[in-house]
Amino acid sequence: MTNKYYSVKPVLDNKLPQVFIETYGCQMNVSDSEVVLSVLQKCGYALCDKIENADLILLNTCSIRDNAEQRIWGRLENFKILKKKKRTLIVGILGCMAERLKEELLSHQVVDLVAGPDTYRDLPNLIAALTSGDKQINTLLSQEETYADISPVRMDKNGVSAFISIMRGCNNMCSYCVVPYVRGAERSRDPKSIMREARELFENGYKEISLLGQNVDSYHWSNPDNPTHKVSFAELLEMIALIDPKLRVRFSTSHPKDMANSVLYTMAMYQNICNHIHLPVQSGSDAILERMNRKYTRAEYLARVAKIREILPTSTISTDMIAGFCGETEEDHLDSLSIMRDVGYYTAFMFQYSERPNTKAARHYPDDVPAETKARRLNEIIALQNELSLKSNQADIGKEFEVLVEGFSKRSKSDLLGRTSQNKVCIFPAGDHKIGDYVTVKVLSCSSATLKGVEVV
């Protein structure tokens, strides 16, 4: 069953050439870095944990907002010193910013190689070709690449939860978003390879798998040898849930326009599919949603939420919010605040709108909300979310939850930290428990970020 290349521990061997990988952006990038490490280990590199020891530094980058890119330019400035100390050091840029900026990155003094998200199999060739003295670049996007046959080498520390990418790219074209340009067209991965990876993780002690895609509800796979054999996202979810009741399954991201009732019913059928849905609304105003090309209205979104509440009454819902999108009026902003209240999100990722070159929004709509207004609106969104998170957590006081232990509390080694099925962080006195245990905990108190409780015996 175990794949020949599979390893739950990165190879640490200071005699081999050393690679240091720094990952920015979303979970898909974290998952991709694990694919990259697998490719590099096969060609003789070992992972190192100190950047000063590296022979090869790879930055897996993000382009989603301007500040994500600015961080990388800043990072490259720091590498000038490292390169002076070690003339043979190779610096490579991977990921979404590599795809977006291509030659512009390659012409930076410290950059030796640039590789886009669909070219990681080519990394050994690109590195080998550097001996010619020329910088190397490959940013081809693929219609097919899913890295299905590459078993990622897990870099996470806890050995309990892991990500599995089930698809790549995005076809949605939200007007503000750079992802379809830098990640290419949407493609779904063969369910057999997803199952194999999930089983191997479980056999290696992992207890929780998060299935990743920009829009998991549009996952669809048909067998090229037998086109009548099709697998939908709800079916895939069920297949993974059936591996073992002690293997928790999460997924992200759900698109409000696509989330099917079949997914909700599948979630209701299996206790190991976690009761949490990340359902980004972005804005509460119909005018803004239209301009964002999100393809749902406020009423349609709220109808989806009502269906979730009906089928999965204990599920939490989280969101992403954008403050200050093109043309956003004060009234539109108030609509965003009110939809947050209407849904009662337990948590949210909240951003100021950042114009991305060449997107539909950049081409058609002026970025006309002043910086101070964007900042003020974002602060109001954050303040409201803190209130909602606290309220959501307070409602859990007195209730019991099954917590999967991920590690120790940052404050105290005698407390363990884990998550409930609803994805809330919960801290409780360790007793005899260890990382990877399921523990039933009664919640006694909370903050806006954390539940605190004791084991139910």
Interface residues toward ligand F3S, by CB under 6 A:
25-26, 28-29, 62-64, 95-96, 178-179, 182-183
Residue 323's nearest CA partner among 259, 385, 388 is 385
Residue whose structure tokens are 């997924």: 251
Q: Does 27 interact with ligand SAH (rule: CB under 6 A)? A: no
Q: Does 63 interact with ligand SAH (rule: CB under 6 A)? A: no
Contacting residue, 45, 353, 401, 428, with ligand SAH by CB under 6 A: 353
Query: Is the backbone peptide bond immediately before 266 cis, with ω within 30 degrees of 0?
Result: no
Q: Choose from ligand SF4, ligand SAH, ligand F3S, none: what does 201 bind? Cβ within 5-8 Å by kind.
A: none
| Nearer residue to ligand SAH within complex by CB, 291 or 452 | 291
> Rounded to the nearest whole angstrom, what is the least distance from the CB of residue 360 to ligand SF4 in the complex?
10
Proportion of the chain in helix, strand, coil states, percent, rounded to 5: 35, 25, 40
Distance between CA 191 and CA 231 in Å, rounded? 8
| Nearer residue to ligand SAH within complex by CB, 65 or 248 | 65
What is the 3 state secondary structure string of 344-367? CCCEEEEEECCCCCCCHHHHHCCC
Residue whose structure tokens are 């709509």: 365
Q: Choose from ligand SF4, ligand F3S, ligand SAH, none: what does 198 bind? Cβ within 5-8 Å by kind.
A: none
Q: Does 179 interact with ligand SF4 (rule: CB under 6 A)? A: yes
Token digits for 184?
A: 């290419």
Contacting residues for 62 by C-beta, under 8 A, at least 6 apart: 24, 25, 26, 29, 68, 69, 95, 96, 97
The H-or-E segment that residue 138 falls in is strand 136-138
Select from 33-41, 97-105, 168-176, 437-445 the region that touches ligand SF4 (CB under 6 A): 168-176
Q: Choose from ligand SF4, ligand SAH, ligand F3S, none: what does 180 bind? Cβ within 5-8 Å by kind.
A: ligand SF4
Distance between CA 373 and CA 371 in Å, rounded? 5
Token digits for 168?
A: 């790549």
Residues 245 to 284 in contact with ligand SF4, rule: CB under 6 A = 255
Going by their DSSP bridges, the two strands 415-419 and 400-408 should be labelled as antiparallel
Select from 35-43, 82-90, 177-185, 306-314 the region that touches ligand SF4 (CB under 6 A): 177-185
| Nearer residue to ligand SAH within complex by CB, 48 or 384 | 384
Contacting residue, 17, 124, 159, 180, with ligand SF4 by CB under 6 A: 180
Q: Does 280 interact with ligand SAH (rule: CB under 6 A)? A: yes
Question: Which residues form the interface with ligand SF4 (CB under 6 A)?
Answer: 170, 172-174, 177, 179-180, 214-215, 255
Question: Which residues form the interface with ligand SAH (CB under 6 A)?
Answer: 64-65, 176-177, 179, 214-215, 253, 255, 280, 282, 320, 322, 351, 353-354, 356
